[in-house]
């Protein structure tokens, strides 16, 4: 680790947890961050506390609910089944999970407030699910789905209930990109094909080859003791610890789109696998040709669109690198132009609801992960810290390469 990288990155973390601007706790309570190249970790650091209600410091082995950072892991399990010849991405998804054929399209609401539903005109495929073009959404980004949940009593996705996945589509499959619960259905496909729970498949085929010992849908007692607390950002900028905001430890559905817990170090191993063309510390996870295929834009002429908030307590309006064209791979966002942080065009990235962010730059051989536990998503202090951290890593690497 170059000395200037450590100093620059440490400074970003320290500034992000600082209380600034006269507003109590206007930074973040605590953060853990990591940067890696293809060979190993080049920076790891922690700052602040796991909870404002507890003096325990944030540490590099802190356990986080990683929410949608789960999606790429489930996507990897799907790709393994494709390699095995057990899954055709372009076959109807009902081939593997017949229940998906019962999902209807929500065409708004009648005057009485009841939802108008109809059958879709085309089949949903697993590729559509991986690309978020199947028509599924999230209620916190889609007013119609929010209203549908309220009208019908459908449980929210974070309940980890099987019924949550019966939410309707909001458009005809294949018509556009919309972020939502599609990867949760991919998790059900993995379970249907393998005959095992998703977490068992991940443990055997992903976590063990990568040496990810602190990742899973269920929190062991030692993981529970290291959990960071989710905080809610209030309107005045202050933060309130919400220890009751935890995913169920024995979920009915192990959500392939949102259910994992992990450490920054473990997720760094997963990022490094993608930098290394599918190779892990203890064995291969994916073939190089699969990684190359999965890392390409799969949307064609469609684009990733900004995410508009429908439930402000869960998320603000969100867009990565506003104005820059972005596409989607299997299953990551792709920035189509070089990013101001130094990230290459064609790099892979995404995030988790409680303001966790990662990137995988295969061209430059760099990746990183930034973990906090704050709602709503797209918290300015969290996002600003993450982007500052990413830029500090690229600037330090560029300086070292130029020396």
- Segment 27-43, tens digit of pLDDT: 999 999 999 999 999 99
The band of 21, judged by pLDDT with boundaries at 50, 70 and 90, is very low
The answer to whether the CB of 396 falls within 8 A of the CB of 403 is: no
* pLDDT value, residue 20: 47
- Alpha carbon distances (Å) from 214 to 16, 249, 263, 264, 268: 26, 14, 6, 10, 12
pLDDT at 256: 98
105-109 and 115-118 beta bridge pairing: antiparallel
What pLDDT, on a 0 to 100 scale, did the predictor assign at position 402? Answer: 85
Residue 26 has pLDDT above 80, yes or no: no
N residues, the chain? 403
First to last CA, the chain: 15
CA–CA separation, 201 vs 191, rounded Å? 8
Chain center to CA of 249: 19
68 is a catalytic site residue: yes
In a domain, 30, yes or no: no
pLDDT band at 230 (very low <50, low <70, confident <90, very high): very high
Q: Does some domain include residue 179? A: yes
Does the structure show a pLDDT above 90 at 113? Answer: no
Question: What's the pLDDT at 23?
Answer: 58
Is it the case that residue 124 has pLDDT exceeding 50?
Answer: yes
- Token output for 148: 């549908």
How much is the average pLDDT of 213-233? 97
Q: What are phi and psi of 249, to 5 degrees?
A: -80, -20
Contact 119, 170 (CB under 8 A): no
In the structure encoding, which two tokens stand for residue 4, read together?
């200037």
Cα–Cα distance, 270 to 368 (Å, whole number): 10
Q: What is the pLDDT of residue 2?
A: 67
On the question of pLDDT at 84 being above 80, the answer is yes
Cα 147 from Cα 125, distance rounded (Å): 27
Residue at 168 is within a domain: yes
Supply the Cα-derived Rg of the chain in whole angstroms.
Answer: 20
Host domain of residue 313: 62-362
In tens, the pLDDT along 242-280 reads: 999 999 999 999 999 999 999 999 999 999 999 999 999
Contacting residues for 22 by C-beta, under 8 A, at least 6 apart = none
Catalytic: which of 43, 71, 138, 326? 71
Does a structural domain hold residue 149? yes
Q: Is residue 35 part of a domain?
A: no
pLDDT tens, 145-180? 999 999 999 999 999 999 999 999 999 999 999 999
Q: What confidence score (pLDDT) does residue 18 get?
A: 83
78: its two tokens: 């799907």
Dist CA 237 CA 136 (whole Å)? 32
Mean pLDDT of 7-14: 96
**Residue-wise over 103-137: b if at least 16 C-beta within 10 A, else e?**
bebbeeeeeeeebeeeebeebbbbbbbbbbbbbbb
CB-side neighbour CA atoms (13 Å) of 184: 27
pLDDT at 25: 53
Interval 315-351: pLDDT, tens: 999 999 999 999 999 989 999 999 999 999 999 999 9
Q: Domain tally for the chain?
A: 1
pLDDT digits 0-9 by tens, 308-317: 999 999 999 9
Residue 99 has pLDDT above 70, yes or no: yes
For residue 225, tell me if it sits in a domain: yes
39 has catalytic annotation: no
Cis ω before 27 (30° cut-off from 0): no
- pLDDT on residue 270: 98
Is the pLDDT at 24 greater than 90? The verdict is: no
Other CB atoms within 10 Å distance of the CB of residue 398: 12
Q: Which one of 51, 68, 139, 396 is the catalytic residue? A: 68
182 sits in which H/E element: helix 182-194
DSSP H helical ranges for 89-166: 126-131, 143-152
Angle at 320 between CA 318 and CA 321, to 5 degrees: 130
Q: The domain spanning residue 124 has which CATH number? A: 3.40.710.10
CA distance 257 to 73: 9
Residues whose CB is less than 8 angstroms from the CB of residue 166 and which lie 6 or more positions away in sequence, other chains included: 99, 102, 103, 154
Q: What is the pLDDT of residues 53-64, one digit of tens each?
A: 999 999 999 999
Query: Is residue 213 one of the residues assigned to a domain?
Result: yes
3 a catalytic residue: no
Give me the percent of the chain exceeding a pLDDT of 90. Answer: 93
User: Average pLDDT, whole number, for the chain?
Assistant: 95
Which position among 43, 96, 138, 179 bears the catalytic label? 179
User: How do 105-109 and 374-375 pair as beta strands?
Assistant: unpaired
353-390 pLDDT, tens digit per residue, is 999 999 999 999 999 999 999 999 999 999 999 999 99
101 vs 93: CA distance, rounded Å: 8
Q: Is residue 50 part of a domain?
A: no
Cα–Cα dist 137/152, whole Å: 16
Once rounded to an integer, what is the mean pLDDT over residues 112-130?
96
User: In this structure, how many other beta carbons lie within 10 angstroms of the beta carbon of residue 140?
Assistant: 23
């Amino acid at each position: 680790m170059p000395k200037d990288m450590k100093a620059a990155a440490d400074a970003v973390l320290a500034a992000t947890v600082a209380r600034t601007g006269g507003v109590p706790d206007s930074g973040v309570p605590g953060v853990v961050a990591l940067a890696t190249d293809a060979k190993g970790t080049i920076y790891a650091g922690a700052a602040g506390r796991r909870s404002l209600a507890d003096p325990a410091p944030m540490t590099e082995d802190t356990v986080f609910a990683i929410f949608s950072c789960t999606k790429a892991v489930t996507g990897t399990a799907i790709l393994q089944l494709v390699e095995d010849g057990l899954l055709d991405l372009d076959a109807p998804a009902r081939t593997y999970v017949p229940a998906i054929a019962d999902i209807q399209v929500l065409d708004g609401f009648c005057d009485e407030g009841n939802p108008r539903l109809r059958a879709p005109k085309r089949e949903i495929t697993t590729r559509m699910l991986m690309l978020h073009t199947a028509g599924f959404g999230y209620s916190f980004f889609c007013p119609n789905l929010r209203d549908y949940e309220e009208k019908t009593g459908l449980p929210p996705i974070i309940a980890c209930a099987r019924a949550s996945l019966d939410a309707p589509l909001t458009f005809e499959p294949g018509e556009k990109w919309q972020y939502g619960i599609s990867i949760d259905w991919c998790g059900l496909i993995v379970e249907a094909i393998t005959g095992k729970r998703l977490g068992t498949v991940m443990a055997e085929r992903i976590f063990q080859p990568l040496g990810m010992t602190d990742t899973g849908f269920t929190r062991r007692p030692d993981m529970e003791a290291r959990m960071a607390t989710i905080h809610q950002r209030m309107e005045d900028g202050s933060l309130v610890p919400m220890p009751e905001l935890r995913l169920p430890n024995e979920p009915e559905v192990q959500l392939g789109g949102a259910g994992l817990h992990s450490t920054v170090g473990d997720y760094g191993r997963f990022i490094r696998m993608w930098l290394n063309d599918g190779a892990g510390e203890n064995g291969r996870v994916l073939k190089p040709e699969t990684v190359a295929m999965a890392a390409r834009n799969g949307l064609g002429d469609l684009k990733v669109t900004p995410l508009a908030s429908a439930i402000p307590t869960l998320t603000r309006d969100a867009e990565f690198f506003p104005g820059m064209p972005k596409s989607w791979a299997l299953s990551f966002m792709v920035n189509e132009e070089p990013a101001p942080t130094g990230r290459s065009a064609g790099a892979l990235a995404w995030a988790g609801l409680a303001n966790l962010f990662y990137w995988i730059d295969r061209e430059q051989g760099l990746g990183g992960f930034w973990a906090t536990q704050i709602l709503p998503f797209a918290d300015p202090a969290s996002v600003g810290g993450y982007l500052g951290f990413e830029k500090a890593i690229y600037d330090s690497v560029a300086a070292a390469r130029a020396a």
